[in-house]
Protein backbone atom coordinates (compact mmCIF):
# COMPACT_ATOMS: atom_id res chain seq x y z
CA UNK A 1 0.00 0.00 0.00
CA UNK A 2 1.51 3.29 -1.08
CA UNK A 3 1.37 6.18 1.40
CA UNK A 4 -0.94 9.08 0.58
CA UNK A 5 1.17 12.10 -0.42
CA UNK A 6 1.25 14.90 2.15
CA UNK A 7 0.60 18.35 0.69
CA UNK A 8 2.58 21.46 1.50
CA UNK A 9 0.88 24.86 1.19
CA UNK A 10 3.46 26.65 -0.93
CA UNK A 11 1.78 26.25 -4.35
CA UNK A 12 -1.85 26.43 -5.41
CA UNK A 13 -3.35 26.97 -8.85
CA UNK A 14 -5.83 29.68 -9.77
CA UNK A 15 -8.77 27.62 -8.52
CA UNK A 16 -7.16 27.48 -5.07
CA UNK A 17 -6.29 23.81 -5.51
CA UNK A 18 -2.80 22.41 -5.05
CA UNK A 19 -1.57 21.21 -8.49
CA UNK A 20 -1.13 17.46 -8.80
CA UNK A 21 2.49 16.76 -9.76
CA UNK A 22 3.65 13.71 -11.66
CA UNK A 23 7.08 12.52 -12.78
CA UNK A 24 7.26 10.66 -16.10
CA UNK A 25 10.33 8.43 -16.21
CA UNK A 26 11.17 7.23 -19.73
CA UNK A 27 13.45 4.21 -19.57
CA UNK A 28 15.10 1.88 -22.06
CA UNK A 29 17.70 -0.68 -20.98
CA UNK A 30 18.18 1.30 -17.77
CA UNK A 31 18.35 -1.58 -15.31
CA UNK A 32 21.66 -0.46 -13.82
CA UNK A 33 20.77 3.25 -13.48
CA UNK A 34 17.02 3.48 -12.88
CA UNK A 35 16.91 2.87 -9.12
CA UNK A 36 19.92 5.09 -8.43
CA UNK A 37 18.28 7.88 -10.43
CA UNK A 38 14.99 7.59 -8.54
CA UNK A 39 16.81 7.48 -5.20
CA UNK A 40 18.15 10.96 -5.97
CA UNK A 41 14.67 12.52 -5.88
CA UNK A 42 14.83 14.89 -2.87
CA UNK A 43 13.18 13.40 0.20
CA UNK A 44 11.34 16.63 1.02
CA UNK A 45 9.91 16.75 -2.52
CA UNK A 46 8.62 13.18 -2.60
CA UNK A 47 5.61 14.06 -0.46
CA UNK A 48 4.55 16.57 -3.15
CA UNK A 49 4.58 13.99 -5.93
CA UNK A 50 1.16 12.48 -6.64
CA UNK A 51 2.46 9.79 -8.96
CA UNK A 52 5.63 8.58 -10.59
CA UNK A 53 5.00 6.98 -13.98
CA UNK A 54 7.79 4.64 -15.07
CA UNK A 55 7.44 3.60 -18.72
CA UNK A 56 9.80 0.85 -19.85
CA UNK A 57 10.01 0.99 -23.65
CA UNK A 58 10.32 -2.78 -24.23
CA UNK A 59 13.82 -3.01 -22.77
CA UNK A 60 15.97 -6.10 -23.29
CA UNK A 61 17.19 -6.09 -19.70
CA UNK A 62 15.56 -5.97 -16.24
CA UNK A 63 14.42 -2.33 -16.36
CA UNK A 64 10.81 -3.25 -15.59
CA UNK A 65 11.84 -5.42 -12.63
CA UNK A 66 14.07 -2.64 -11.30
CA UNK A 67 11.19 -0.17 -11.50
CA UNK A 68 8.83 -2.54 -9.66
CA UNK A 69 11.45 -3.23 -7.00
CA UNK A 70 11.98 0.48 -6.36
CA UNK A 71 8.23 1.23 -6.22
CA UNK A 72 7.61 -1.47 -3.59
CA UNK A 73 10.16 -0.13 -1.10
CA UNK A 74 8.97 1.71 1.99
CA UNK A 75 8.22 5.44 1.73
CA UNK A 76 7.98 5.68 -2.06
CA UNK A 77 5.48 8.01 -3.75
CA UNK A 78 2.61 6.29 -5.51
CA UNK A 79 4.26 4.67 -8.54
CA UNK A 80 2.94 3.12 -11.75
CA UNK A 81 5.36 0.86 -13.65
CA UNK A 82 4.48 -0.14 -17.20
CA UNK A 83 6.35 -2.11 -19.86
CA UNK A 84 5.46 -1.69 -23.52
CA UNK A 85 5.20 -4.97 -25.43
CA UNK A 86 6.96 -3.32 -28.38
CA UNK A 87 9.39 -0.45 -28.61
CA UNK A 88 7.51 2.81 -29.23
CA UNK A 89 10.59 4.95 -29.69
CA UNK A 90 11.69 7.95 -27.62
CA UNK A 91 8.84 10.13 -28.86
CA UNK A 92 6.29 7.33 -28.78
CA UNK A 93 7.12 6.58 -25.15
CA UNK A 94 6.55 10.23 -24.24
CA UNK A 95 3.20 10.28 -26.06
CA UNK A 96 2.06 7.29 -24.02
CA UNK A 97 3.28 8.95 -20.83
CA UNK A 98 1.58 12.29 -21.42
CA UNK A 99 -1.69 10.55 -22.32
CA UNK A 100 -1.43 8.57 -19.09
CA UNK A 101 -0.68 11.74 -17.09
CA UNK A 102 -3.81 13.40 -18.48
CA UNK A 103 -5.88 10.27 -17.87
CA UNK A 104 -4.78 10.15 -14.23
CA UNK A 105 -5.66 13.80 -13.63
CA UNK A 106 -2.17 15.23 -13.15
CA UNK A 107 -1.66 18.98 -13.55
CA UNK A 108 2.13 19.10 -13.97
CA UNK A 109 4.32 16.37 -15.43
CA UNK A 110 8.12 16.34 -15.37
CA UNK A 111 10.05 14.29 -17.93
CA UNK A 112 12.95 12.46 -16.28
CA UNK A 113 15.33 10.05 -18.01
CA UNK A 114 15.98 6.74 -16.32
CA UNK A 115 19.69 6.78 -17.20
CA UNK A 116 20.47 9.53 -14.68
CA UNK A 117 21.68 12.06 -17.27
CA UNK A 118 19.48 14.80 -15.74
CA UNK A 119 19.43 15.82 -12.10
CA UNK A 120 16.39 14.66 -10.10
CA UNK A 121 17.65 16.94 -7.33
CA UNK A 122 16.25 19.90 -9.31
CA UNK A 123 12.68 18.62 -9.58
CA UNK A 124 11.39 21.36 -7.21
CA UNK A 125 12.97 24.07 -9.37
CA UNK A 126 11.58 22.47 -12.54
CA UNK A 127 7.95 22.65 -11.40
CA UNK A 128 8.11 25.99 -9.55
CA UNK A 129 7.55 28.36 -12.55
CA UNK A 130 4.49 26.36 -13.63
CA UNK A 131 3.14 26.31 -10.08
CA UNK A 132 3.53 30.10 -9.92
CA UNK A 133 1.71 30.52 -13.24
CA UNK A 134 4.79 31.98 -14.94
CA UNK A 135 5.16 29.37 -17.69
CA UNK A 136 3.49 26.43 -19.37
CA UNK A 137 6.80 24.63 -19.93
CA UNK A 138 10.14 24.59 -18.11
CA UNK A 139 13.34 23.30 -19.70
CA UNK A 140 16.51 22.36 -17.89
CA UNK A 141 19.34 23.93 -19.88
CA UNK A 142 22.89 22.62 -19.70
CA UNK A 143 24.13 25.66 -21.64
CA UNK A 144 23.10 28.43 -19.24
CA UNK A 145 26.20 27.80 -17.11
CA UNK A 146 29.01 28.91 -19.41
CA UNK A 147 31.35 25.97 -19.90
CA UNK A 148 29.37 23.80 -17.49
CA UNK A 149 28.38 21.25 -20.13
CA UNK A 150 32.01 20.57 -21.09
CA UNK A 151 33.05 20.34 -17.44
CA UNK A 152 30.22 17.82 -16.93
CA UNK A 153 31.70 15.53 -19.56
CA UNK A 154 29.73 16.47 -22.68
CA UNK A 155 31.94 15.54 -25.66
CA UNK A 156 33.21 18.54 -27.58
CA UNK A 157 31.58 17.45 -30.85
CA UNK A 158 28.20 17.15 -29.10
CA UNK A 159 28.67 20.55 -27.48
CA UNK A 160 29.46 22.14 -30.85
CA UNK A 161 26.52 20.40 -32.53
CA UNK A 162 24.20 21.50 -29.74
CA UNK A 163 25.30 25.12 -30.02
CA UNK A 164 25.13 25.25 -33.82
CA UNK A 165 21.72 23.59 -34.01
CA UNK A 166 20.30 25.76 -31.21
CA UNK A 167 21.50 28.94 -32.89
CA UNK A 168 20.00 27.85 -36.22
CA UNK A 169 16.69 26.87 -34.63
CA UNK A 170 16.46 30.16 -32.72
CA UNK A 171 17.10 32.09 -35.95
CA UNK A 172 14.40 30.21 -37.84
CA UNK A 173 11.83 30.34 -35.04
CA UNK A 174 12.53 33.79 -33.64
CA UNK A 175 13.13 32.28 -30.18
CA UNK A 176 15.90 32.84 -27.62
CA UNK A 177 16.40 29.48 -25.95
CA UNK A 178 19.88 28.62 -24.71
CA UNK A 179 19.34 24.93 -25.55
CA UNK A 180 16.89 23.07 -27.77
CA UNK A 181 18.22 19.60 -27.02
CA UNK A 182 17.79 19.04 -23.32
CA UNK A 183 15.57 16.13 -22.37
CA UNK A 184 14.77 17.58 -18.94
CA UNK A 185 11.31 19.08 -19.30
CA UNK A 186 8.31 20.01 -17.16
CA UNK A 187 4.94 20.71 -18.74
CA UNK A 188 1.54 21.92 -17.72
CA UNK A 189 -0.75 19.02 -18.63
CA UNK A 190 -3.45 21.52 -19.65
CA UNK A 191 -0.96 23.05 -22.10
CA UNK A 192 -0.10 19.62 -23.51
CA UNK A 193 -3.82 19.04 -24.19
CA UNK A 194 -3.74 22.10 -26.45
CA UNK A 195 -0.95 20.65 -28.58
CA UNK A 196 -1.39 17.84 -31.14
CA UNK A 197 1.51 15.87 -29.62
CA UNK A 198 -0.06 12.62 -30.81
CA UNK A 199 0.89 13.66 -34.37
CA UNK A 200 4.55 14.12 -33.50
CA UNK A 201 7.32 11.79 -34.53
CA UNK A 202 8.15 8.72 -32.44
CA UNK A 203 11.87 9.44 -32.90
CA UNK A 204 14.31 11.58 -30.92
CA UNK A 205 13.29 14.84 -32.64
CA UNK A 206 9.99 14.64 -30.75
CA UNK A 207 11.45 17.16 -28.29
CA UNK A 208 12.11 19.67 -31.08
CA UNK A 209 8.62 19.30 -32.50
CA UNK A 210 7.05 19.97 -29.12
CA UNK A 211 9.14 23.15 -28.75
CA UNK A 212 7.89 24.32 -32.14
CA UNK A 213 4.31 23.55 -31.11
CA UNK A 214 4.70 25.53 -27.89
CA UNK A 215 6.09 28.53 -29.78
CA UNK A 216 3.40 28.29 -32.45
CA UNK A 217 0.68 28.23 -29.77
CA UNK A 218 2.18 31.26 -28.02
CA UNK A 219 2.83 29.33 -24.80
CA UNK A 220 5.52 30.44 -22.36
CA UNK A 221 8.79 28.54 -21.94
CA UNK A 222 11.09 29.13 -18.98
CA UNK A 223 14.64 27.77 -18.74
CA UNK A 224 16.59 26.95 -15.59
CA UNK A 225 20.27 25.92 -15.42
CA UNK A 226 20.93 22.23 -14.77
CA UNK A 227 24.21 20.34 -14.40
CA UNK A 228 25.53 18.01 -17.07
CA UNK A 229 26.14 14.33 -16.32
CA UNK A 230 27.83 12.07 -18.83
CA UNK A 231 28.70 8.62 -17.59
CA UNK A 232 28.93 5.16 -19.12
CA UNK A 233 25.30 5.08 -20.27
CA UNK A 234 24.67 3.88 -23.81
CA UNK A 235 23.64 6.59 -26.27
CA UNK A 236 21.00 5.42 -28.76
CA UNK A 237 20.90 8.68 -30.74
CA UNK A 238 22.35 8.74 -34.26
CA UNK A 239 23.81 12.25 -34.17
CA UNK A 240 23.81 12.97 -37.91
CA UNK A 241 20.29 11.66 -38.40
CA UNK A 242 19.09 13.61 -35.37
CA UNK A 243 20.64 16.84 -36.68
CA UNK A 244 19.04 16.31 -40.09
CA UNK A 245 15.66 15.58 -38.50
CA UNK A 246 15.54 18.63 -36.24
CA UNK A 247 16.59 20.97 -39.06
CA UNK A 248 13.96 19.37 -41.29
CA UNK A 249 11.31 19.88 -38.59
CA UNK A 250 12.04 23.58 -38.17
CA UNK A 251 12.23 24.18 -41.94
CA UNK A 252 9.01 22.22 -42.43
CA UNK A 253 7.33 24.47 -39.88
CA UNK A 254 8.65 27.66 -41.48
CA UNK A 255 7.41 26.52 -44.88
CA UNK A 256 4.05 25.49 -43.40
CA UNK A 257 3.60 28.96 -41.90
CA UNK A 258 4.02 30.32 -45.43
CA UNK A 259 1.58 27.73 -46.76
CA UNK A 260 3.92 25.13 -48.25
CA UNK A 261 3.62 21.49 -47.28
CA UNK A 262 1.05 20.08 -44.91
CA UNK A 263 3.02 19.74 -41.62
CA UNK A 264 0.35 17.67 -39.84
CA UNK A 265 1.86 18.22 -36.40
CA UNK A 266 1.13 21.98 -36.50
CA UNK A 267 -2.55 23.08 -36.33
CA UNK A 268 -3.88 25.15 -39.20
CA UNK A 269 -5.24 28.60 -38.25
CA UNK A 270 -9.02 28.79 -38.02
CA UNK A 271 -9.39 31.85 -40.22
CA UNK A 272 -7.45 33.47 -43.05
CA UNK A 273 -5.20 36.43 -42.37
CA UNK A 274 -6.06 39.56 -44.34
CA UNK A 275 -4.13 42.76 -44.95
CA UNK A 276 -5.26 45.53 -47.25
CA UNK A 277 -2.98 45.96 -50.22
CA UNK A 278 -1.23 42.63 -49.67
CA UNK A 279 -1.79 41.56 -53.29
CA UNK A 280 -4.08 38.68 -52.34
CA UNK A 281 -7.30 37.91 -54.16
CA UNK A 282 -9.34 39.31 -51.27
CA UNK A 283 -7.40 42.59 -51.41
CA UNK A 284 -8.01 42.85 -55.17
CA UNK A 285 -11.73 42.09 -54.73
CA UNK A 286 -11.92 44.73 -51.99
CA UNK A 287 -10.36 47.32 -54.30
CA UNK A 288 -12.97 46.50 -56.94
CA UNK A 289 -15.77 46.75 -54.38
CA UNK A 290 -14.61 50.27 -53.45
CA UNK A 291 -15.59 51.40 -56.95
CA UNK A 292 -19.10 49.97 -56.64
CA UNK A 293 -22.06 51.64 -54.91
CA UNK A 294 -22.92 50.29 -51.46
CA UNK A 295 -25.39 47.41 -51.43
CA UNK A 296 -26.31 44.08 -49.89
CA UNK A 297 -23.41 41.63 -50.04
CA UNK A 298 -23.40 37.87 -49.56
CA UNK A 299 -19.88 36.82 -48.49
CA UNK A 300 -19.47 33.07 -49.02
CA UNK A 301 -16.64 31.48 -47.06
CA UNK A 302 -16.36 34.55 -44.86
CA UNK A 303 -14.08 32.86 -42.29
CA UNK A 304 -13.59 35.22 -39.33
CA UNK A 305 -15.24 38.15 -41.08
CA UNK A 306 -12.13 40.29 -41.62
CA UNK A 307 -13.03 40.90 -45.26
CA UNK A 308 -16.70 41.50 -44.35
CA UNK A 309 -15.64 44.06 -41.75
CA UNK A 310 -13.88 46.10 -44.42
CA UNK A 311 -16.87 45.87 -46.74
CA UNK A 312 -19.16 47.14 -44.00
CA UNK A 313 -16.79 50.06 -43.44
CA UNK A 314 -17.40 50.96 -47.12
CA UNK A 315 -21.15 51.11 -46.46
CA UNK A 316 -22.13 47.61 -47.60
CA UNK A 317 -24.46 45.38 -45.58
CA UNK A 318 -22.77 41.98 -45.39
CA UNK A 319 -24.29 38.56 -44.76
CA UNK A 320 -21.58 36.01 -44.07
CA UNK A 321 -21.74 32.24 -44.62
CA UNK A 322 -19.15 29.67 -43.57
CA UNK A 323 -18.95 26.02 -42.61
CA UNK A 324 -17.53 26.84 -39.16
CA UNK A 325 -18.08 29.82 -36.92
CA UNK A 326 -14.79 31.55 -36.19
CA UNK A 327 -14.90 33.59 -32.96
CA UNK A 328 -15.77 37.24 -33.63
CA UNK A 329 -17.41 36.71 -37.02
CA UNK A 330 -20.88 37.80 -35.85
CA UNK A 331 -19.49 41.13 -34.66
CA UNK A 332 -17.95 41.77 -38.08
CA UNK A 333 -20.93 40.80 -40.24
CA UNK A 334 -24.46 42.23 -40.32
CA UNK A 335 -25.72 38.63 -40.32
CA UNK A 336 -23.97 35.27 -40.19
CA UNK A 337 -25.12 31.74 -41.08
CA UNK A 338 -23.36 28.43 -40.58
CA UNK A 339 -23.69 26.23 -43.65
CA UNK A 340 -21.73 23.67 -45.65
CA UNK A 341 -21.72 24.97 -49.22
CA UNK A 342 -21.18 21.42 -50.39
CA UNK A 343 -24.88 21.03 -49.54
CA UNK A 344 -25.82 24.26 -51.33
CA UNK A 345 -26.82 27.74 -50.15
CA UNK A 346 -28.94 27.87 -46.99
CA UNK A 347 -32.50 29.10 -47.54
CA UNK A 348 -32.31 31.45 -44.56
CA UNK A 349 -29.98 33.87 -46.34
CA UNK A 350 -32.87 35.19 -48.47
CA UNK A 351 -32.64 36.88 -51.86
CA UNK A 352 -32.13 40.26 -53.48
CA UNK A 353 -28.37 40.64 -53.02
CA UNK A 354 -26.53 43.26 -55.04
CA UNK A 355 -23.24 41.40 -54.85
CA UNK A 356 -22.06 37.91 -54.02
CA UNK A 357 -18.39 37.44 -53.11
CA UNK A 358 -16.87 33.95 -53.33
CA UNK A 359 -13.19 34.54 -52.66
CA UNK A 360 -11.25 31.25 -52.90
CA UNK A 361 -14.38 29.17 -52.35
CA UNK A 362 -15.50 27.14 -55.35
CA UNK A 363 -12.26 25.15 -55.56
CA UNK A 364 -13.25 23.58 -52.22
CA UNK A 365 -16.50 22.20 -53.67
CA UNK A 366 -16.95 18.94 -55.54
CA UNK A 367 -19.80 20.45 -57.60
CA UNK A 368 -19.16 24.21 -57.86
CA UNK A 369 -21.51 24.49 -60.84
CA UNK A 370 -24.49 23.77 -58.61
CA UNK A 371 -23.60 26.48 -56.11
CA UNK A 372 -22.89 28.97 -58.90
CA UNK A 373 -26.35 28.29 -60.31
CA UNK A 374 -27.90 28.84 -56.86
CA UNK A 375 -25.99 32.10 -56.47
CA UNK A 376 -27.72 33.47 -59.58
CA UNK A 377 -31.03 32.83 -57.84
CA UNK A 378 -30.26 35.06 -54.83
CA UNK A 379 -29.01 38.02 -56.89
CA UNK A 380 -31.26 40.94 -57.75
CA UNK A 381 -31.56 41.76 -61.48
CA UNK A 382 -28.24 43.26 -62.56
CA UNK A 383 -26.41 41.87 -59.53
CA UNK A 384 -22.80 40.80 -59.77
CA UNK A 385 -20.60 37.99 -58.55
CA UNK A 386 -16.94 38.42 -57.67
CA UNK A 387 -15.01 35.19 -57.27
CA UNK A 388 -11.42 34.08 -57.23
CA UNK A 389 -9.70 30.73 -57.75
CA UNK A 390 -6.05 29.62 -57.70
CA UNK A 391 -4.47 29.14 -61.11
CA UNK A 392 -3.41 25.49 -61.48
CA UNK A 393 -1.46 26.34 -64.64
CA UNK A 394 0.88 28.62 -62.62
CA UNK A 395 4.55 27.73 -63.05
CA UNK A 396 4.77 26.47 -59.45
CA UNK A 397 2.21 23.71 -59.86
CA UNK A 398 3.41 22.96 -63.40
CA UNK A 399 6.94 22.48 -62.08
CA UNK A 400 5.78 20.24 -59.25
CA UNK A 401 3.96 18.00 -61.70
CA UNK A 402 6.80 18.00 -64.24
CA UNK A 403 9.31 16.95 -61.58
CA UNK A 404 7.03 14.21 -60.30
CA UNK A 405 6.90 16.01 -56.93
CA UNK A 406 3.17 16.70 -56.85
CA UNK A 407 1.85 17.04 -53.32
CA UNK A 408 -0.47 19.22 -51.30
CA UNK A 409 0.26 22.36 -49.28
CA UNK A 410 -1.46 23.97 -46.31
CA UNK A 411 -2.79 26.74 -48.53
CA UNK A 412 -2.30 28.27 -51.95
CA UNK A 413 -2.73 26.58 -55.31
CA UNK A 414 -2.18 23.07 -53.95
CA UNK A 415 -4.16 23.54 -50.72
CA UNK A 416 -4.87 20.11 -49.23
CA UNK A 417 -8.59 20.97 -48.99
CA UNK A 418 -9.03 21.76 -52.69
CA UNK A 419 -11.34 19.40 -54.56
CA UNK A 420 -11.22 21.12 -57.96
CA UNK A 421 -8.39 22.77 -59.88
CA UNK A 422 -8.93 25.60 -62.36
CA UNK A 423 -7.04 27.22 -65.21
CA UNK A 424 -8.23 30.46 -66.76
CA UNK A 425 -9.90 28.58 -69.62
CA UNK A 426 -11.59 26.01 -67.38
CA UNK A 427 -12.83 28.76 -65.04
CA UNK A 428 -14.41 30.56 -67.98
CA UNK A 429 -16.08 27.35 -69.17
CA UNK A 430 -17.34 26.57 -65.66
CA UNK A 431 -18.97 29.94 -65.00
CA UNK A 432 -20.42 30.22 -68.50
CA UNK A 433 -21.84 26.72 -68.18
CA UNK A 434 -23.42 27.77 -64.87
CA UNK A 435 -25.23 30.64 -66.60
CA UNK A 436 -22.94 33.66 -66.29
CA UNK A 437 -21.43 36.28 -68.54
CA UNK A 438 -17.81 37.19 -67.70
CA UNK A 439 -17.53 40.96 -67.36
CA UNK A 440 -13.87 40.96 -66.31
CA UNK A 441 -11.22 38.33 -65.75
CA UNK A 442 -7.93 39.42 -64.20
CA UNK A 443 -4.98 37.67 -62.54
CA UNK A 444 -2.82 38.40 -59.51
CA UNK A 445 0.91 37.85 -59.23
CA UNK A 446 2.64 35.39 -56.89
CA UNK A 447 2.32 36.38 -53.20
CA UNK A 448 5.93 37.26 -52.44
CA UNK A 449 4.57 39.34 -49.56
CA UNK A 450 3.67 36.05 -47.88
CA UNK A 451 6.93 34.29 -48.69
CA UNK A 452 9.21 37.02 -47.37
CA UNK A 453 6.93 38.69 -44.89
CA UNK A 454 8.35 42.09 -45.79
CA UNK A 455 10.48 41.88 -42.64
CA UNK A 456 13.33 44.37 -42.37
CA UNK A 457 14.70 46.75 -44.96
CA UNK A 458 16.29 44.04 -47.11
CA UNK A 459 13.32 41.66 -46.95
CA UNK A 460 10.86 44.45 -47.69
CA UNK A 461 12.88 45.74 -50.65
CA UNK A 462 13.27 42.24 -52.06
CA UNK A 463 9.57 41.50 -51.66
CA UNK A 464 8.71 44.77 -53.42
CA UNK A 465 11.08 44.07 -56.30
CA UNK A 466 9.91 40.49 -56.79
CA UNK A 467 6.30 41.58 -56.47
CA UNK A 468 6.79 44.14 -59.23
CA UNK A 469 8.45 41.54 -61.46
CA UNK A 470 5.63 39.10 -60.78
CA UNK A 471 2.97 41.67 -61.73
CA UNK A 472 4.82 42.45 -64.97
CA UNK A 473 5.13 38.78 -65.92
CA UNK A 474 1.49 38.20 -64.99
CA UNK A 475 0.38 40.92 -67.41
CA UNK A 476 2.53 39.40 -70.15
CA UNK A 477 1.54 35.76 -69.56
CA UNK A 478 -1.31 35.41 -67.03
CA UNK A 479 -1.81 31.70 -67.68
CA UNK A 480 1.77 30.92 -66.61
CA UNK A 481 2.54 33.61 -64.04
CA UNK A 482 -0.91 34.44 -62.68
CA UNK A 483 -1.24 33.03 -59.17
CA UNK A 484 -4.99 33.55 -58.90
CA UNK A 485 -7.74 34.44 -61.33
CA UNK A 486 -10.42 36.93 -60.29
CA UNK A 487 -13.67 37.06 -62.22
CA UNK A 488 -16.48 39.62 -62.24
CA UNK A 489 -19.67 37.91 -63.37
CA UNK A 490 -23.36 38.55 -63.96
CA UNK A 491 -26.08 36.06 -64.88
CA UNK A 492 -26.72 35.73 -68.61
CA UNK A 493 -28.38 38.80 -70.15
CA UNK A 494 -32.14 38.82 -69.81
CA UNK A 495 -34.87 41.36 -70.32
CA UNK A 496 -36.45 42.88 -67.26
CA UNK A 497 -38.97 45.65 -66.62
CA UNK A 498 -37.88 48.80 -64.82
CA UNK A 499 -40.58 51.40 -64.17
CA UNK A 500 -42.80 49.84 -66.82
CA UNK A 501 -40.12 49.97 -69.49
CA UNK A 502 -38.37 47.00 -71.14
CA UNK A 503 -34.64 47.32 -70.47
CA UNK A 504 -31.86 44.89 -71.40
CA UNK A 505 -29.72 44.19 -68.34
CA UNK A 506 -26.62 43.48 -70.43
CA UNK A 507 -26.97 46.91 -72.05
CA UNK A 508 -26.89 48.50 -68.59
CA UNK A 509 -23.81 46.53 -67.64
CA UNK A 510 -22.06 47.38 -70.90
CA UNK A 511 -22.47 51.08 -70.19
CA UNK A 512 -20.95 50.68 -66.71
CA UNK A 513 -17.64 49.19 -67.84
CA UNK A 514 -14.95 50.46 -70.16
CA UNK A 515 -13.57 48.12 -72.84
CA UNK A 516 -10.37 47.77 -70.79
CA UNK A 517 -12.38 46.25 -67.94
CA UNK A 518 -13.89 43.59 -70.17
CA UNK A 519 -10.85 41.34 -70.22
CA UNK A 520 -11.31 37.92 -71.77
CA UNK A 521 -14.98 38.31 -72.69
Domain shared by 244 and 301, yes or no:
no
Domain shared by 307 and 389, yes or no:
yes
Q: What is the CATH number of the domain that holds 204?
A: 3.90.550.10
Cβ atoms of 282 and 359 within 8 Å: the answer is yes
- Residue 421 belongs to a domain: yes
Q: Express each pLDDT in 404-428 by its tens digit.
A: 988 899 888 999 999 999 999 999 9
Domain shared by 316 and 235, yes or no:
no
Domain shared by 341 and 384, yes or no:
yes
Q: Express each pLDDT in 2-44 by its tens digit.
A: 333 333 334 555 556 789 999 999 999 999 999 999 999 999 9
Axis-axis angle for helices 156-173, 206-216 (nearest 10)? 30
CA angle 414, 415, 417 (to 5 degrees): 130
Domain shared by 36 and 103, yes or no:
yes
Q: What is the CATH number of the domain that holds 295?
A: 3.40.50.150
Q: What's the domain count of the chain?
A: 2
User: What is the model's pTM?
Assistant: 0.76
> What pLDDT is attached to residue 281?
85
Give the domain range for residue 50. Answer: 21-257
The set of residues, in sequence order, having a beta carbon less than 8 Å from that of 391 and lying 6+ positions away, is: 413, 422, 423, 424, 443, 478, 479, 482, 483, 484, 485
- Residue 451 belongs to a domain: no
Q: Is the pLDDT of residue 141 over 70?
A: yes
- Residue 202 belongs to a domain: yes
Which of 90-104, 119-133, 235-249, 454-468 has the weakest average pLDDT?
Answer: 454-468
CA–CA dist 223, 221 (Å, integer): 7
- Residue 275 belongs to a domain: no
Q: Express each pLDDT in 43-80 by its tens digit.
A: 999 999 999 999 999 999 999 999 999 999 988 999 99
Domain shared by 334 and 386, yes or no:
yes
The set of residues, in sequence order, having a beta carbon less than 8 Å from that of 456 and lying 6+ positions away, is: none
Which of 241, 257, 273 marks a domain boundary? 257
3-state helix, strand, coil in the chain (%, to 5): 40, 20, 40
Domain shared by 204 and 347, yes or no:
no
For residue 332, the 8-state DSSP code is H
Domain shared by 331 and 222, yes or no:
no
- Residue 8 belongs to a domain: no
Show contacts of 280-283: CB within 8 Å, 24+ apart. Answer: 280/444, 280/447, 280/484, 281/359, 281/360, 281/388, 281/444, 281/484, 281/486, 282/307, 282/359, 282/360, 282/388
Residue 319 pairs in a beta bridge with 298, 335
Cβ atoms of 357 and 379 within 8 Å: the answer is no
CA–CA dist 189, 106 (Å, integer): 7
**Stretch 348-375: mean pLDDT:** 96
CA angle 254, 258, 260 (to 5 degrees): 85
- Residue 14 belongs to a domain: no
Domain shared by 316 and 253, yes or no:
no
Question: Whole-number mean pLDDT of the chain?
Answer: 87
Amino acid sequence: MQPTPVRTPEAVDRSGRTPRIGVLVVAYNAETTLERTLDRIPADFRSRIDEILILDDASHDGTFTAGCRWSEAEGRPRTVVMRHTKNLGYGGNQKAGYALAAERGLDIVVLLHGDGQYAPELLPEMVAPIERGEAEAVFGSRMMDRGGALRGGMPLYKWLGNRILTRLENALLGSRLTEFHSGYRAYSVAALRRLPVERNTDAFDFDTQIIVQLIDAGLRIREIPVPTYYGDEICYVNGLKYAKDVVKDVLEYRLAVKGFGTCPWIPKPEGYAFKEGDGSSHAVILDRMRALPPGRVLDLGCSGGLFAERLQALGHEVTGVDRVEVPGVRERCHRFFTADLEEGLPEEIGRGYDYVVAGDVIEHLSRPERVLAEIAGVLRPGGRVLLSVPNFSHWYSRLRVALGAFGYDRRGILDETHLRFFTRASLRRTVQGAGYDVLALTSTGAPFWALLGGGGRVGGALAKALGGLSRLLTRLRPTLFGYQHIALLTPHAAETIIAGEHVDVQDILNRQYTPADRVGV
